[in-house]
Amino acid sequence: MPATGSGKEREIVGAALALFRDKGYHATSMQDIADAVGLQKGSLYHYLASKEELLYRIALDTISEYDRRLEDIVGSELPAAEKLRRAVQAHVLMQSDDVGTVTLLRDSGALQPEQREVIRGLTRRYADLVETVIAGGIASGEFRAVDAKMATFAILGACNWIHRWYAPGGRLTPEAISAAYTDFFLRGLGSG
């Protein structure tokens, strides 16, 4: 997630990111966040109205970063297989590195309906971009004629599960995961 806002605000968002990831959004209190940044709980409300505001900001910044990286790849003139390879690589890096990913994927259900709709819209945008790559590869003959929507869901599901099992420093590095997943998906699509 990119850092935004003033110094203290960034510090609060950073503390919330780590607490939400490690304890979960629901188990984290405003007191926990205040303690982590050395503020009285009352002073914390000077910077934000509620814990939910932090959740929304983290979810929004995280999905926006996923979208931004994918848009750069999809907007290029590369063959579909290479776009897919780079998309998987970018997604694996976000899953293994980005501290907001777990909060986005696990806790977004706690947002207000209108906030949830914004996040859902950006998440749908991400899936639509992946589907565009697959449909483009089918149209150009690079990929076999699969159902592009189901292939998209399968690939995104596989990639969105990584943060659940990934262990930093283990045998399965982000590079190894990217390579194995890309190989698996491209074979599944009749390419590579």
> Site residues (CB under 8 A) for a copy of itself?
24, 26-27, 106, 109-110, 146-147, 149-151, 153-162, 164-165, 172, 176-177, 180-181, 183-185, 187-190
Q: Is 125 or 149 the residue whose CB approaches a copy of itself more closely?
A: 149
- How far is residue 15's CA from residue 1's CA, in Å, rounded to a whole number? 13
Least distance (Å) between residue 50 CB and a copy of itself: 15
Instruction: Name 191's Cβ contacts closer than 8 Å, sequence gap at least 6.
Output: 80, 81, 137, 142, 143, 144
Q: Give residue 3's identity as a one-letter amino acid code.
A: A
Least distance (Å) between residue 2 CB and a copy of itself: 26
Q: Give residue 107's identity as a one-letter amino acid code.
A: D
Q: Is 45 or 161 the residue whose CB approaches a copy of itself more closely?
A: 161
Contact 151, 133 (CB under 8 A): no
Least distance (Å) between residue 44 CB and a copy of itself: 21
Least distance (Å) between residue 65 CB and a copy of itself: 20
122: buried, middle or exposed (CB in 10 Å: 19+, 13-18, 0-12)?
middle
Q: Is 47 or 185 the residue whose CB approaches a copy of itself more closely?
A: 185
Nearest to 91 by CA among 170, 185, 177: 177
Least distance (Å) between residue 158 CB and a copy of itself: 4
Q: Is 109 or 168 the residue whose CB approaches a copy of itself more closely?
A: 109
Q: Is 10 or 26 the residue whose CB approaches a copy of itself more closely?
A: 26
- How far is residue 47's CA from residue 36's CA, in Å, rounded to a whole number? 14
